[in-house]
Amino acid sequence: MGLATSHKCVISRRDDVWFAALRRSCIHLTWSDRSAICLEGLGLQVVENVEEAEFTLPHGTKALGLPSGKARSTSLDGLEKISELCAAKKISMIVANPDCVTVEARTRNFSIYKLQILEFCHPTNGDHDIMGANAAGIKSVFTTGGIHANELGLSSFREVADLSSVQILSSKYDAHPSYVLPAFI
Picking from 145, 143, 141, 169, the residue whose alpha carbon sits closest to that of residue 156 is: 145
Task: Give the Cβ contact number of residue 4 at 10 Å.
Answer: 16
Q: Express each pLDDT in 1-16 by its tens digit.
A: 334 444 455 566 666 6
Q: Express each pLDDT in 42-82 by its tens digit.
A: 888 999 999 999 998 887 788 899 998 888 999 888 988 99
- pTM score: 0.56
User: Sign of torsion, CA 161 163 165 171?
Assistant: positive
Instruction: Check pLDDT > 70 for residue 17.
Output: yes
Q: Residue 113: its pLDDT value, please?
A: 45
d(CA 176, CA 110): 23
Q: Residue 162: its pLDDT value, please?
A: 92
Q: Express each pLDDT in 159-184 by its tens digit.
A: 899 999 999 999 998 999 998 988 76
Q: Express each pLDDT in 78-93 by its tens digit.
A: 988 998 999 899 888 8
Percent of all residues in the chain with a pLDDT value above 70, rounded to a whole number = 69
Q: Residue 118: its pLDDT value, please?
A: 47
Residue 112 pLDDT grade (very low, low, confident, very high; cuts 50, 70, 90)? very low
Question: So where are the chain's domains?
Answer: 1-98+111-121, 126-185
d(CA 97, CA 114): 8
d(CA 154, CA 145): 7
Cβ atoms 80, 115 nearer than 8 A: no
